[in-house]
C-alpha cells in the first residue's frame, strides 16, 4: 500500500472515507457522489467490507456505529448516538459434550494464539439487524441503492491483496475447516486463495440481492433462519429461533469527556474499550506531553505508565471480569468515581517522567455528518450458513470476549467488546473520526492517535503512521520507527526500574491495530488516513 493510497488531504466536496480496503472505500465514495450522507456511505461500506474483508467483517458478525448528525440533520441535529449491534450470547445452554467447539492455532509472524471454532462458538449475530435499523433511522437513499456496490463485488469478485492473503495465512485452519468454506475461499482443499487470486461469491451476491428487497426478516425469521437453527440443533450449535427473532439493536448515549478543550465521544459500557480509553485520558488530564517531543524517552515512559495503570485499574474495578451489562456499568462507575480516579492520577504524578478479526470505517460528508463504524466477525467459526454464503462468527470462542471462561457467559446478554468507534471535536472547530481493529490493542492504538492529534497537533496522516507502543501483562511491545537513541534509553529505564519486559518489532505491524482516521481543521482542510498496518485506504472526495 503506497503512502498516496493510504493517506489523502484536501477540501471535501462530497466527503471523505478512511477504511481497510480500496473496494470498501469505493463503495462509500460511490454513495457520497450519489448524494448520500455519511451514514448512507458508512452502511454501503459495511456491506462492501463484509464481502471483500471476509476475515475481519461478515454479515454473520456484529459491530458499533457512533453517529453524529449535522446541525440541521432531521434525526440527530448536532447530537451523537451509539448504535450497538454487537453479538448476544445464546439464551439457552447445552451439555458441553453436545457442543461443536474446537480449538485451532492462529500463527502470526512472532506469536501464536488459540481460538475456538465450530457452531458452538457462534453467538447471535447483529450485523444485518444493525444495517436495517440504522438505515431506517438515518438513511436517506434506498437500501437497495446502498447495497448495490456490495452485491456487485460479490458477483464480479475482488482480487486479494497482500493484506488479505496474509490474514488468510494466519487463520487458514478456520477457512479450511469445512468443505463449504473451502468451496468459496480455497484454491484446493489444502490451500486458501492467495495474493492476486479472484474471490467471487455468487451465493452471497444472490442472498444480498434478496435481502435488499425482502429486508432483515429474511435472515432472522425466514427459511435462512430455520436452516441455521436446524444446523445448530443437529451439529452442536446453541442458537434458537428466539435468539434470532428476539435480537435487538441497542441505542446508547455515547460516553463523553473533555480533554484539552476537545470533546471526545466513544463507545459506552457495557463495552470496555471506550471506557478504558477515557480512563487513560482522564489520568493524563492534568499532565502534558507538550514539553517532550514525540518519541522521546519522556513521551514513551508516560505512555507506558498510563497503559500499565489502565490495565491495573481494569482489574481493580472488576471491569475485566464483568459478566453482565449491569456489572460493566457498575465497574465503569467505580473507574470514574472521584476517589478511585484521583488515586490513579496521584500514581501518575508521583512517577518520574524522565530517564483479531476487526475492521473500522470512518466517514464524513460535506453536510457535517460523521460516522465512526467498527465491525468484527471474530475470526469466523468455519461454518457457512447454507443459502447465504455467509461465514458466521466465533465470538463465544474468543478468549478476550469471555473473561469468565468459555461456556460461563450469562445467557441472552450483549457481549462486551474492546471496539471503540470514537469522535473528537476541538474548541476551534477541529474534528476527528476514528476507530481501530486489533483486539486488546484497540484501546492503546486509539489512545495514541488521539494524543498525536491533540497533544502534538498532527494531521490524520501523521497521527496514524507514527509508531506505537503497547503495554500489557508485563510486556512493552515497541513498534519499529521510534528514534533509536530515545528508544534505547527508554528500554534501559524499563530494565532499571524492573517495570516490565520488552519486545522490539522490526517495523509497522498489524499487531498494533488499524486506526482508520479522518481529521478536519477549523478552516475545513480534511486529512484522511487508512492505517497502512492493515492495508488501509483513504479518500477525500
Active site members: 358
What are the grid coordinates assigned to 376, written together? Answer: 468484527
**CA 98 to centroid of chain Cα atoms:** 32
What interhelical angle do 273-284 and 442-454 show, nearest 10?
40
Burial 313-348 (b: 16+ CB within 10 A, else e): bbebbbbeebbebebbebbbebbeeeebbeebbebb
Distance separating alpha carbons of residues 301 and 307, to the nearest angstrom: 10
CB atoms within 10 A of CB 96: 10
Number of residues that this document lists for the chain: 541
Yes or no: say if 325 and 413 are a contact pair by the CB < 8 Å rule.
yes
469 has which bridge partners? 478
CB atoms within 10 A of CB 111: 9
Q: Give every CB contact of residue 496 below 8 A, 6+ residues apart in sequence.
A: none
CA dihedral 438, 443, 448, 451 (to 10 degrees): 150
What are the grid coordinates assigned to 298, written together? Answer: 519522556
DSSP 189-232: TTEE--TT-EE--HHHHHHHHHHHHH-THHHHTSHHHHHHHHHH
Distance separating alpha carbons of residues 536 and 541, to the nearest angstrom: 16
Amino acid at each position: 500500500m503506497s503512502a498516496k493510497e493510504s493517506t489523502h488531504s484536501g477540501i471535501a466536496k462530497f466527503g471523505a472515507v478512511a477504511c481497510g480496503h480500496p473496494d470498501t472505500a469505493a463503495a462509500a465514495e460511490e454513495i457520497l457522489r450519489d448524494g448520500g450522507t455519511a451514514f448512507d456511505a458508512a452502511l454501503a461500506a459495511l456491506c462492501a467490507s463484509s464481502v471483500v474483508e471476509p476475515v475481519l467483517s461478515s454479515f454473520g458478525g456484529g459491530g458499533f456505529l457512533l453517529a453524529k448528525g449535522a446541525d440541521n440533520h432531521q434525526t440527530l441535529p448536532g447530537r451523537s448516538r451509539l448504535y450497538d449491534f454487537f453479538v448476544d450470547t445464546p439464551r439457552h445452554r447445552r451439555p458441553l459434550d453436545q457442543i461443536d467447539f474446537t480449538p485451532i492455532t492462529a500463527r502470526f509472524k512472532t506469536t501464536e494464539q488459540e481460538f475456538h471454532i465450530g457452531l458452538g462458538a457462534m453467538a447471535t449475530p447483529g450485523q444485518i439487524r444493525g444495517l436495517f435499523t440504522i438505515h431506517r433511522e438515518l438513511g436517506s437513499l434506498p437500501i437497495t441503492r446502498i447495497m448495490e456496490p456490495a452485491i456487485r463485488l460479490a458477483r464480479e469478485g475482488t482480487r486479494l491483496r497482500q493484506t488479505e492473503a496474509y490474514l488468510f495465512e494466519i487463520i487458514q485452519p478456520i477457512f479450511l475447516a469445512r468443505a463449504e468454506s473451502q468451496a468459496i475461499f480455497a484454491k484446493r482443499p489444502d490451500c486458501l486463495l492467495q495474493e492476486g487470486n479472484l474471490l467471487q461469491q455468487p451465493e452471497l451476491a444472490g442472498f444480498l440481492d434478496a435481502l435488499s428487497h425482502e429486508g432483515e426478516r429474511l435472515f432472522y425469521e425466514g427459511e435462512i433462519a430455520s436452516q441455521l437453527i436446524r444446523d445448530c440443533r443437529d451439529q452442536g450449535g446453541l442458537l434458537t429461533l428466539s435468539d434470532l427473532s428476539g435480537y435487538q439493536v441497542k441505542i446508547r448515549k455515547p460516553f463523553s469527556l473533555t480533554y484539552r478543550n476537545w470533546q471526545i465521544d466513544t463507545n459506552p459500557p457495557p463495552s470496555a474499550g471506550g471506557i478504558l480509553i477515557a480512563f487513560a485520558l482522564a489520568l493524563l488530564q492534568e499532565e502534558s506531553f507538550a514539553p517532550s517531543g514525540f518519541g522521546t524517552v519522556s513521551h514513551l515512559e508516560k505512555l507506558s505508565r498510563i497503559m500499565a495503570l489502565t490495565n491495573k485499574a481494569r482489574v481493580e474495578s472488576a471491569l475485566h471480569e464483568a459478566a453482565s451489562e449491569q456489572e460493566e456499568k457498575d465497574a465503569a462507575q467505580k473507574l470514574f468515581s472521584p476517589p478511585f480516579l484521583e488515586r490513579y492520577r496521584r500514581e501518575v504524578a508521583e512517577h518520574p517522567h524522565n530517564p483479531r478479526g476487526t475492521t473500522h470505517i470512518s466517514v464524513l460528508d460535506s453536510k457535517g455528518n460523521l460516522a465512526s463504524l467498527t465491525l468484527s466477525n471474530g475470526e469466523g467459526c468455519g461454518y457457512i450458513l447454507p443459502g447465504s454464503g455467509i461465514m458466521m462468527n466465533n465470538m463465544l470462542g474468543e478468549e478476550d470476549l469471555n473473561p469468565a471462561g468459555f461456556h460461563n457467559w450469562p445467557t441472552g446478554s450483549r457481549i462486551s467488546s474492546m471496539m471503540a468507534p470514537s469522535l473528537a471535536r476541538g474548541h476551534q472547530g477541529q474534528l476527528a473520526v476514528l476507530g481501530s481493529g486489533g483486539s486488546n490493542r484497540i484501546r492503546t492504538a486509539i489512545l495514541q492517535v488521539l494524543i498525536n492529534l491533540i497533544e502534538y497537533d498532527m494531521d490524520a496522516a501523521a497521527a496514524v503512521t507514527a509508531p506505537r507502543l503497547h503495554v500489557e501483562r508485563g510486556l512493552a511491545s515497541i513498534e519499529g520507527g521510534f528514534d533509536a537513541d530515545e528508544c534505547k534509553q527508554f528500554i534501559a529505564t524499563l530494565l532499571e526500574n524492573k517495570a516490565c519486559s520488552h519486545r522490539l518489532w522490526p517495523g509497522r505491524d498489524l499487531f498494533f491495530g488499524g486506526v482508520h482516521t479522518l481529521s478536519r481543521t477549523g478552516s475545513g482542510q480534511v486529512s484522511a488516513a487508512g492505517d497502512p498496518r492493515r492495508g488501509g485506504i483513504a479518500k477525500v472526495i
